Amino acid sequence: MKPTLAWHFVHRPLPGVLRDGRPVVIGETIRHEGALVLCSSGLHASISALDALQYAPGAVICRVRVGGEVLRDTDKLVASERTVLWTVDADAVLRSFARRCALDVIHLWDAPEVVIRYLRTGDESIRSAAGDAAWDAAWDAAGDAAGDAAWDATGNAAWDAAWDAAWAAAWDAAGDATGDAAWDAAWDAAGARQARRLTAMLHAEHRRVVTRGEP
């Protein structure tokens, strides 16, 4: 089968630590012997970085090539061979991504000024205050998804915040569509836009690291 490029998150520190405790080795092809079972047995990855994010155990993302036998699901795959091409610590990227997703829907609610300032600047000195303000505002609005996106973007776990904020933004982007088919199409388009954004940001971070010669 032709090799496929995909994404896979692992633990810190760089270049990464697999779920079983083995260190990531750039360029090494690891192979799985035995049956492939999604979510259970084999070497997992996702074609979309946004899909991979929901399974992330940590903030190091690997660009991988998978091959051999491959089983595919809607948001993940499992393969008998996987090679890590490069890795980056995506923590800062995911925080920025979450803030951008929250800003996409900032016009849909009466956001406190400190929340807007944090989302625009990423100033860590006001993150706690922004989180408290977003929580209070979202609670008052009975769980408004735009407020939830801002709350997620101020969260401590960057990868969880990015995932939640992206889909809260997608939910709102699709919310005005009428009819099931139109809503589904709007939802898919909004999610695809967020996925493209995250992919572009990860590639940009990799280029930045390579250019600066960082490990």
Q: Could you report the per-residue pLDDT of 146-196, keeping only the tens digit for each?
A: 777 777 787 656 667 776 777 676 666 655 554 566 656 665 777 888 899
Residue 48 has pLDDT above 60, yes or no: yes
Q: Which range has the worst mean pLDDT, 32-46, 70-84, 111-125?
A: 111-125
The mean pLDDT value for 42-62 works out to: 94
Query: What are the DSSP E strand ranges found in 11-158?
Result: 29-31, 43-45, 60-72, 77-89
What is the pTM (predicted TM-score) of this model?
0.85
Return the bridge partners of 87, or none.
Answer: 62
What amino acid is encoded at 29 in this protein?
T
pLDDT for 117-139, tens place per residue? 998 999 989 988 988 888 777 66
* pLDDT at res. 69: 95
pLDDT at 107 (0 to 100): 81
Q: CA 127 to CA 121: how far, in whole Å?
A: 10
* pLDDT for position 211: 86
